[in-house]
Chains A and B, each alone.
Chain A
């Protein structure tokens, strides 16, 4: 049998002690559409970055046509015939489509000047080949996201020397028609003999399109199979099928009492109805009761963070109503919502949750510094008390209140983020990926804190992409898919497979 076009051999990569990829190996033949599937954090994007040279692997190698490749940047990769198209278009908004396609590699005339006619003609050609009815002279800023995605494709495909094309969630921002067009393009590339690695969450679209599929889970290779050999349920099983009993100990306490019993919505500590925000989510309604932990699962980009931020007032809420502890509130900004008793622990901890160059104490006291102040002056004594109390209660390891918070470990930083809200007497805690990127010991501690908060009567909404965490911690599980709330499961009936299936297909399987 001929040597496969692409061989990925034992690729491993870790970031600061956390393994993103563990010894991943598989092949892609020339003219093969190879699907790559896995949960968020399974390592797909890391693999793509390693192949194109944005990251380097710790171990392992990648062979293209028998020769090892090691690129240092996307331009080098391009020269080597390896191209990637990502989800968020990195384009130059003030320039037109043709300029974006050819930036850095404009065609020249004999005099050395840019041959603009040729540039527009070749752009026109590639756009036609893509089936996109776009004017090469259109300024990019006036395009829709889907159209921008096509410009990205044009940029990747115009010189027809591709050997390997990597597509990272290419259909995420495309309409059904645009998606069809994309599939046609990919099929044409396949005829040309290009190897295609197609990352997607939309498993149902892969049938009748992809040739083979590789599933990654927690950074490791699970299985590679022909598409004809697997069904959707099986794929989901491979994606999430892990033994969860030994991961998180301890059952959740009696917060579940509110569940199952007939629920009076007025008693909910957080209630939302028909929330919508253009382009992010729509028609979202749910309740969180005191003492409950409600897990919110879904794929990355499905809108969960936006829902939480909108409830918190950090991004505009266009439609819908919000009640806090039975009282309707008109959401304006975070300061106001904090006053109402809603607090938000951000997903992007380093940028949104903490101020890196400030001290541990300053970070911890930032929300409450105004409250505690005496005639505008900082109340050092009260602040010290709070610092002591929470460092002890949450066992935060720091060299002192004045140390820079960037010197703390990830788990300790998260605990500081949690404790900063404690002194504001919150009623509702919105957690966004609370244990993302922190060590196991700290994870357990954060979970313990969350359970304690619930026990004290707070309502907790926990956004998480970690399915075991969702299953262990939640009394109820909400699933968000593509901006819509598509399923709700009680703890007893929830399984990883059901949740993942709902997140992917948008149907709750009931």
Chain B
């Protein structure tokens, strides 16, 4: 909490024992120093949006469905990224608690878009080979393999009759050709540079 002293001294927080930073990421930030290089990197990833415009009105957090369920606080993510606690944000895994309902992006009076920052954090977590929910990487390998996240699945009717595309008179499903796979692989390599 040493590094957040500036906020504690702010008039709004003076004399109050609790201030809006109470998530586990804080514990991670107590002994760390902000990382300005990573801060620039993460802010560079989100293009047109401007986290520095955030004035902590907490409108994003008040409408966030993941706040109710998983204590995701978008305004906190924005503040910590601005301060340069990017590595800590990644280590805490909060970015994966977002349901991408986009309400924060829609309702922010300052066009900050916390959800864009959350996607940038996820991308950076993958880049830095941090802990990432495996299924996200599986989607990527499925696309490399078949062009889609999955092949056509067998399913059942309400009467438990097994059906597939053919039985339902739907045309055969076509995967993209091998040229796609080669091109997509190149794109993935390119974006790593």
| Same complex origin of A and B | no
